[in-house]
């Protein structure tokens, strides 16, 4: 898994180095994550990821993007039955998405869509019981969005991303847990050059 | 197109509709499903596959093409043994000689389903009639065993912590008499043959019945059909003082066979030995009241495909009886050398009972008992209990140096080794007494009515359970101790420091995806500790198959010991 991440990173950097860079943008976004996993929704509800992104415009419509995304949620373990106790739990996930995208200018707006892979590192901890589960995985994702220029170097962006993240089995549930879902991000990006 | 032809169109359409509304029954095939993947069980349960036999490496099942496709889609390896089997009877056979194999191959159809296990059937008629005399066999069940097979409920003990010897069990063990065993085997042998449904077999059954009656036990016959006749199981019961509805069984089949089966089949080792050991157990235990009910059963028809035990196991299952465990004694008196080992054979779900047997035999210094897990060892009276979801073991003399007089007219008392036989009988009785728990005068009453309620808490990757245990207060109790184990009836560890003042306890934050077993004891004012309550079994928490929501989790608490 780690090797896959390194390979993707190397490929991405290689493309950047060999391309005649036309633009470089930095972006910051926040929004909502709508998990496909029912257990996630029950325990943590929807969550609010933060994401920092670097984008290289390589040629006219093609670019590469990299970033860091962070989720930090707290919730209560599901109470199955009529138990009187409650257990606080916390979930953190750091993701490093690497992707290629296409940009389509359209009447002052730009539509974009892309695909790539994210390296995810996650940890779930029970606050009062000695239970902690960690994991790493690399999974593909797709996204699309719209961008419009607010100032000469500043743009506002709206991005919708879908991920499918099989993350192993919960033995008590006897089935696989999926950390994927839809992420809707709103943010700004600043073009450096 | 003529008018006449046009008139035929609606008739043809009507006929097609009728055929469509009543499709012909899908052919059912006998298949072999390789056990392989541990997740196979979930597939079999979800698809409601008619599993009719569990063996060491595979399941045998009745399945139509949709079932087969579903099991294959789940990644399991499936072989079709025979197609369209609706009216075919199949027999399971143990390892057979090349000569027998050739002979059976000519008489019917033979298929190896795994190493040393074959299936035999004929296109028409009863395949049992085609078997050579003296061959062990088991009819393949014709109905699904799926509701009763629960392979993961009772995990295998990785190790067994040595138990404490009970002074009353010590006395019980010492009471086993070699001369008494000899006398009983001689009496059974003196019937000359006990071949099922012969007058001599009936007389032997009557003798066993009278013996139990003479001890003061509750005894009944149970009719077992055999061909046009009837033979009879003999069932004697010693009611438990605390748990009369929770039953332990010690059994041996009293029928015999040989190549002169209707005139001379002494069956001293097979199986006057097991029957006499059960009778001797009754003679001794009648003097030692137990917490749990014990049944002493002499089965008939074992040599005809486990007829008696099949009828009995079906009967107790249909009545919903809680049979805690079955010790089936079959050939426990022959030894080609000393010291000789006793094999204790279990399926996965009965592993705890084999481990208990071995541990008790070791703790009381009785005999080297070897625990063997082999779901393919289905050729004695424990097997129908496995088929009905009960824990059962077969105690049998070592297969190394097998009895050369097996199923012969020479299987007589003079070939038995009474030193070995007495020790193997003692080991079985000690196990029975340890599980049944002799009542100890002057000690606090054994707690009864222990119940467990499980509360499950689940996150994405973790889960814990809080298990609430409640029981009625015991007379003479100043406090209580709670014991827990992750294997049934073994390796209990005390959870509380000083005795609990109240008859309740919550075991917090235990691992959710494994079985837990609990017992409670009462502690008297002077520190004397009672026998253990019935064991409650808290099942692992598993999602229902195909569940997509944590809210669909099932969690269950078993009250079975």
One domain, residues B456 and B425: no
By CB atoms closer than 10 A (0-12, 13-18, 19+), residue B440 is middle
Rounded to whole angstroms, the Cα distance separating A74 from A136 reads 20
One domain, residues B362 and B218: yes
Domain boundary among B436, B468, B499: B436
Report whether A98 contacts A117 (CB < 8 A): yes
Helix (H, G, I), strand (E, B) or coil at B74: coil
Report chain B residues whose CB lies below 8 A from the CB of A124: 459-462
Rounded to whole angstroms, the Cα distance separating B154 from B147 reads 16
Smallest CA–CA distance from B461 into chain A, residue: A170
Closest CA relative to residue B490, chosen from B327, B354, B391, B293: B354
One domain, residues B99 and B199: no
Rounded to whole angstroms, the Cα distance separating A143 from A147 reads 13
Smallest CA–CA distance from A124 into chain B, residue: B461
> Which secondary structure element, helix H or strand E, spans residue A112, and what is its range?
strand A109-126
Rounded to whole angstroms, the Cα distance separating B138 from B119 reads 10
What does the mean pLDDT of chain A come to? Answer: 88
> Which secondary structure element, helix H or strand E, spans residue B103, and what is its range?
helix B98-107
Tell me whether B423 touches chain A (CB under 8 Å). no
- Two tokens, residue B209: 């019945």
One domain, residues B80 and B186: no
Domain boundary among B436, B460, B475: B436
Smallest CA–CA distance, residue B460 to chain A, in Å, is 6
CATH number for the domain whose boundaries are A2-191: 2.40.160.20
Per-residue pLDDT of chain B (561 residues; tens, 9 = 90+): 455 555 555 555 555 555 444 445 689 999 999 987 767 888 888 889 999 999 999 999 999 999 999 999 988 899 999 999 988 999 999 988 889 999 999 999 999 999 889 999 998 888 998 998 888 899 999 889 988 876 555 566 666 665 678 999 999 999 999 999 999 999 999 999 999 999 999 999 999 999 999 999 999 999 999 988 899 999 999 999 999 999 999 999 999 999 999 999 999 999 999 999 999 999 999 999 999 999 999 999 999 999 999 999 999 999 999 999 999 999 999 999 999 999 999 998 899 999 999 999 999 999 999 999 999 999 999 999 999 999 999 999 988 779 999 999 999 999 999 999 999 999 999 999 999 999 999 999 999 999 999 999 999 999 999 999 999 998 889 999 999 999 899 999 999 999 999 999 999 988 888 889 999 999 999 999 999 999 999 987 753 322 222 222 323 333 333
Tell me whether B5 touches chain A (CB under 8 Å). no
One domain, residues B394 and B484: no
Report chain A residues whose CB lies below 8 A from the CB of B40: none
- Could you tell me if residue B390 is inside a domain? yes
B75: left (phi over 0), alpha (psi -120 to 50) or beta: left
Sign of dihedral through CA atoms B307, B311, B314, B316?
Answer: negative
- Could you tell me if residue B147 is inside a domain? no
Rounded to whole angstroms, the Cα distance separating B179 from B458 reads 61
Percent of chain A topping pLDDT 70 = 89
Report whether B33 contacts B76 (CB < 8 A): yes
Tell me whether B555 touches chain A (CB under 8 Å). yes
- Two tokens, residue B89: 């009877």
**Other Cβ atoms closer than 10 A to A188:** 16
One domain, residues B264 and B384: yes
**Spacing of C-alpha A46 from chain mean position:** 14
One domain, residues B418 and B494: no
- Residue A133 to residue B461, Cβ atoms within 8 A: yes
- Of all residues in chain B, what percent are helix, strand and coil, respectively (each to 5)? 30, 30, 40
Q: How many domains does chain B have?
A: 3
Tell me whether B155 touches chain A (CB under 8 Å). no
> Which secondary structure element, helix H or strand E, spans residue B313, and what is its range?
helix B307-318
Confidence bin at A10 (pLDDT 50/70/90): low
How far is residue B341 from each of residues B156, B213, B346, B374, B421, measured CA to CA in Å? 22, 33, 16, 17, 11
Rounded to whole angstroms, the Cα distance separating B419 from B334 reads 10
Peptide bond into B511 cis (omega under 30): no
Report whether B430 contacts B361 (CB < 8 A): yes
Tell me whether B548 touches chain A (CB under 8 Å). yes
Rounded to whole angstroms, the Cα distance separating B432 from B292 reads 10
- Residue A78 to residue B466, Cβ atoms within 8 A: no
Domain boundary among B436, B471, B486: B436
Residues in chain B: 561
Segments making up each domain of chain A, as ranges: 2-191
Helix (H, G, I), strand (E, B) or coil at A151: coil
**Other Cβ atoms closer than 10 A to B19:** 10
Rounded to whole angstroms, the Cα distance separating B262 from B264 reads 6
The whole-model pTM stands at: 0.84
> Which secondary structure element, helix H or strand E, spans residue B422, and what is its range?
helix B418-436
User: For B176-286, where are the alpha helices, taking DSSP H only?
Assistant: 178-189, 199-215, 274-285
Per-residue pLDDT at A46: 81
Report chain A residues whose CB lies below 8 A from the CB of B555: 80-81
One domain, residues B432 and B455: no
One domain, residues B472 and B525: yes
> Which tens digit of pLDDT belongs to each residue from A155-174?
999 999 999 999 888 877 77
- Could you tell me if residue B232 is inside a domain? yes
Per-residue pLDDT at B365: 92
Report chain B residues whose CB lies below 8 A from the CB of A91: 459-460
Residue B465 φ then ψ, to 5°: -125, 140
User: Residue B51's domain spans which residues?
Assistant: 29-139
- Residue B459 to residue A89, Cβ atoms within 8 A: yes
Per-residue pLDDT at B15: 56
- Two tokens, residue B78: 């499936």
* Disruptive mutation site among B40, B455, B459 for chain A (greatest number of A CBs within 10 Å): B459
Residues in chain A: 193
Report chain A residues whose CB lies below 8 A from the CB of B464: 77, 87, 126, 129, 131
How far is residue B289 from each of residues A86, B206, B321, B511, measured CA to CA in Å? 46, 26, 21, 37
Helix (H, G, I), strand (E, B) or coil at B235: strand
Rounded to whole angstroms, the Cα distance separating B407 from B255 reads 11
Rounded to whole angstroms, the Cα distance separating A121 from A99 reads 18
Per-residue pLDDT at B7: 56
One domain, residues B378 and B455: no
The string of DSSP codes covering B256-291 is: ---TBTTTBB--IIIIIIHHHHHHHHHHHHTTS-BS
How far is residue B342 from each of residues B266, B276, B373, B396, B462, measured CA to CA in Å? 22, 17, 14, 6, 43
Over the range A105-136, which residues count as b (16 or more CB within 10 Å of their CB) and which as e? eeeeebebebebbbbbbbebbbeebebebebe
Residue A13 φ then ψ, to 5°: -65, -40
B396 Cβ contact list (under 8 Å, min separation 6): B330, B331, B332, B342, B343, B345, B380
One domain, residues B111 and B208: no
Q: Are strands B218-226 and B243-253 parallel, antiparallel or unpaired?
A: unpaired
- Of all residues in chain A, what percent are helix, strand and coil, respectively (each to 5)? 10, 65, 25
Per-residue pLDDT at A183: 95
Smallest CA–CA distance from B547 into chain A, residue: A175
Of the two residues B486 and A11, the one the predictor is more confident about is B486
Percent of chain A topping pLDDT 90 = 70
Closest CA relative to residue B487, chosen from B518, B509, B463, B532: B518
- Residue A78 to residue B42, Cβ atoms within 8 A: no
The answer for B 436-465 residues in CB contact with A (under 8 A) is 454-464
Report whether B451 contacts B306 (CB < 8 A): no
3-state secondary structure B480-502: EEEEEECCCCCCCEECCCCCECC
B65 Cβ contact list (under 8 Å, min separation 6): B26, B27, B29
A186 Cβ contact list (under 8 Å, min separation 6): A29, A30, A31, A156, A157, A158, A159
One domain, residues B392 and B271: yes
Residue B397 φ then ψ, to 5°: -60, 160
Tell me whether A131 touches chain B (CB under 8 Å). yes
A143 Cβ contact list (under 8 Å, min separation 6): A99, A101, A113, A114, A115, A159, A160, A161, A162
Rounded to whole angstroms, the Cα distance separating A155 from B76 reads 55
Closest CA relative to residue B328, chosen from B304, B308, B194: B308
How far is residue B50 from each of residues B120, B185, B540, measured CA to CA in Å? 19, 42, 24
Of the two residues B335 and A1, the one the predictor is more confident about is B335
């Amino acid at each position: 898994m780690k090797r896959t991440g390194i390979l993707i990173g190397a490929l991405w950097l290689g493309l950047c180095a060999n391309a005649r860079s036309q633009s470089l943008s930095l972006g910051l976004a926040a929004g909502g994550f709508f998990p496909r996993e029912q257990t996630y929704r029950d325990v943590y509800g929807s969550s609010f990821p933060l994401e920092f992104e670097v984008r290289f415009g390589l040629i006219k419509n093609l670019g590469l993007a990299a970033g860091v995304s962070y989720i930090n949620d707290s919730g209560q373990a599901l109470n199955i039955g009529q138990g009187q106790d409650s257990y606080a739990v916390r979930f953190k996930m750091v993701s490093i998405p690497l992707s290629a995208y296409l940009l389509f200018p359209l009447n002052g707006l730009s539509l974009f869509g892309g695909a790539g892979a994210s390296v995810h590192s996650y940890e779930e901890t029970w606050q009062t019981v000695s239970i902690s589960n960690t994991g790493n995985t690399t999974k593909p994702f797709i996204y699309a969005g719209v961008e419009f220029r607010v100032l000469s170097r500043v743009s506002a962006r709206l991005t919708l991303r879908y991920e499918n993240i099989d993350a192993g089995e919960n033995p008590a549930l006897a089935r696989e847990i999926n950390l994927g879902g839809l992420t809707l991000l709103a943010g700004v990006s600043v073009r450096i050059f | 197109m003529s008018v006449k032809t046009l008139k035929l169109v609606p008739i043809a359409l009507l006929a097609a509709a009728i055929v469509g509304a009543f499709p012909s029954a899908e052919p059912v095939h006998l298949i072999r499903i390789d056990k392989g993947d541990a997740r196979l069980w979930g597939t079999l349960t979800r698809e409601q596959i008619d599993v009719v036999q569990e063996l060491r490496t595979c399941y045998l099942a009745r399945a139509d093409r949709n079932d087969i496709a579903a099991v294959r889609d789940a990644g399991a390896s499936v072989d079709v043994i025979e197609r369209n089997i609706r009216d075919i009877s199949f027999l399971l056979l143990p390892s057979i000689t090349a000569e027998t194999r050739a002979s059976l191959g000519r008489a019917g159809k033979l298929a190896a389903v795994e190493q040393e296990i074959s299936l035999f059937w004929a296109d028409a008629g009863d395949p049992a009639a085609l078997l050579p005399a003296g061959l062990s066999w088991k009819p393949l069940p014709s109905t699904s065993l799926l509701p009763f097979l629960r392979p993961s409920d009772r995990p295998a003990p990785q190790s067994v912590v040595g138990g404490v010897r009970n002074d009353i069990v010590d006395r019980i063990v010492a009471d086993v008499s070699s001369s008494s065993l000899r006398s009983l085997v001689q009496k059974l042998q003196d019937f000359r043959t006990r071949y099922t449904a012969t007058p001599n077999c009936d007389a032997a059954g009557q003798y066993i019945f009278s013996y139990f009656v003479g001890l003061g036990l509750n005894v009944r016959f149970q009719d077992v059909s055999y061909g046009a006749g009837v033979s009879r199981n003999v069932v004697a019961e010693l009611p438990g003082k605390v748990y009369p509805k929770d039953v332990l069984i010690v059994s041996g089949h009293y029928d015999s066979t040989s190549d002169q089966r209707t005139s001379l089949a002494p069956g001293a080792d097979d199986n006057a030995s097991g029957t006499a050991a059960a009778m001797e157990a009754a003679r001794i235990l009648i003097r030692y009241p137990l917490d749990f009910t014990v049944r002493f059963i002499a089965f008939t028809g074992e040599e005809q495909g486990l007829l008696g035990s099949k009828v009995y196991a079906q009967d107790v299952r249909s009545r919903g009886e809680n049979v805690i465990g079955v010790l089936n004694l079959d050939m426990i008196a022959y030894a080609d050398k000393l010291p000789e080992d006793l094999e204790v054979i279990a399926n996965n779900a009965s592993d705890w009972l084999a481990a208990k047997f071995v541990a008790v035999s070791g703790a009381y210094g009785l005999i080297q008992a070897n625990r063997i897990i082999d779901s393919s060892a289905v050729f004695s009276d424990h097997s129908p209990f496995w088929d009905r979801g009960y824990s059962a073991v077969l105690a049998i003399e070592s297969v190394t140096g097998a009895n050369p007089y097996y199923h012969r007219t020479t299987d007589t008392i003079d070939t038995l080794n009474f030193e070995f036989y007495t020790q193997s009988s003692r080991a079985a009785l000690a196990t029975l007494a340890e599980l049944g728990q002799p009542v100890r005068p002057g000690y606090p009453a054994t707690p009864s009515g222990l119940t467990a309620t499980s509360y499950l808490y689940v996150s994405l990757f973790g889960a814990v359970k809080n298990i609430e245990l409640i029981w009625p207060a015991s007379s003479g109790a100043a406090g209580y101790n709670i014991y827990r184990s992750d294997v049934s009836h073994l390796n209990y560890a005390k959870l509380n420091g000083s005795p609990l003042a109240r008859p309740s306890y919550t075991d917090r934050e235990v691992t959710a995806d494994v079985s837990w077993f609990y017992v409670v004891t009462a502690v008297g004012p002077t520190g004397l500790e009672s026998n253990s309550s019935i064991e409650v079994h808290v099942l692992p928490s598993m999602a229902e198959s195909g569940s997509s929501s944590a809210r669909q989790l099932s969690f269950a608490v078993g009250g079975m010991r």
